[in-house]
């Protein structure tokens, strides 16, 4: 399944859960904006901006790696935060009885934490070092960059010229 299709599935499930809650509690839980821009160890996050539509941010990598559990647990978990807050107000505890009641309605296990493998999602982006040849810019890993500093040279496969580190002042051009 493509990432886009998977995101659409999460969007559809979110709308479906909101409708389920609306029917059960006879109150419209309102709209929610779904984004897939969360990184790091958290699988999802519900955000309540003061004057605009609530947002659920999902971790796209953990979604891809844990599709089944994500749809079964994480999506209901975050939607239940939206519903509980909308129906019971902002003074409730995040994982208190109101939230658990909504989770029960969703038929989802009311656990607070996920046990997804976060080794890939929590890995920090590696620093890259820009080099140039005669034809383009190359991004070298810190391992290769350190080898260059120790005297090793790398050549461009296209123009066969040696890679030269871009001066700080050249970067961003």
Q: Which chain residues interact with Zn ion by CB under 5 A?
A: 133, 135, 156, 158-159
CB-wise, 8 or 158, nearer to Zn ion?
A: 158
C-alpha closest to that of 55 among 37, 33, 38, 75: 33
CB-wise, 91 or 125, nearer to Zn ion?
A: 91
Which residues are tagged catalytic? 78
CB-wise, 8 or 160, nearer to Zn ion?
A: 160
Is there a contact between 103 and 80 (Cβ–Cβ < 8 Å)?
A: yes
Between the two ends of the chain, the Cα-to-Cα distance in Å is 38
Contacts of 127 (CB under 8 A, 6+ apart): 142
User: What's the closest the beta carbon of residue 6 comes to Zn ion, in angstroms?
Assistant: 21
User: What's the closest the beta carbon of residue 2 comes to Zn ion, in angstroms?
Assistant: 28
Pairing of strands 55-58, 33-35: parallel
User: What's the closest the beta carbon of residue 45 comes to Zn ion, in angstroms?
Assistant: 8
């Amino acid at each position: 399944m493509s990432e886009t299709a998977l995101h659409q599935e999460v969007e559809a499930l979110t709308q479906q859960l909101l409708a389920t809650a609306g029917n059960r509690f006879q109150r419209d839980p309102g709209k929610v904006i779904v984004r897939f821009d969360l990184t790091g160890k958290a699988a999802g996050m519900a955000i309540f901006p003061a004057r605009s539509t609530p947002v659920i941010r999902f971790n796209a990598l953990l979604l891809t790696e844990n599709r089944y559990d994500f749809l079964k647990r994480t999506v209901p978990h975050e939607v239940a935060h939206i519903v509980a807050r909308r129906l019971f107000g902002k003074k409730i505890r995040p994982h208190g009885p109101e939230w658990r009641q909504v989770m029960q309605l969703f038929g989802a296990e009311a656990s607070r934490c996920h046990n997804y493998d976060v080794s890939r999602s929590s890995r920090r982006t590696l620093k890259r070092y820009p080099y140039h040849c005669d034809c383009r810019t190359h991004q070298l890993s810190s391992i290769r960059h350190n080898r260059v500093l120790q005297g090793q040279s790398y050549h461009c496969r296209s123009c066969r010229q040696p890679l030269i580190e871009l001066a700080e002042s050249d970067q961003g051009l």
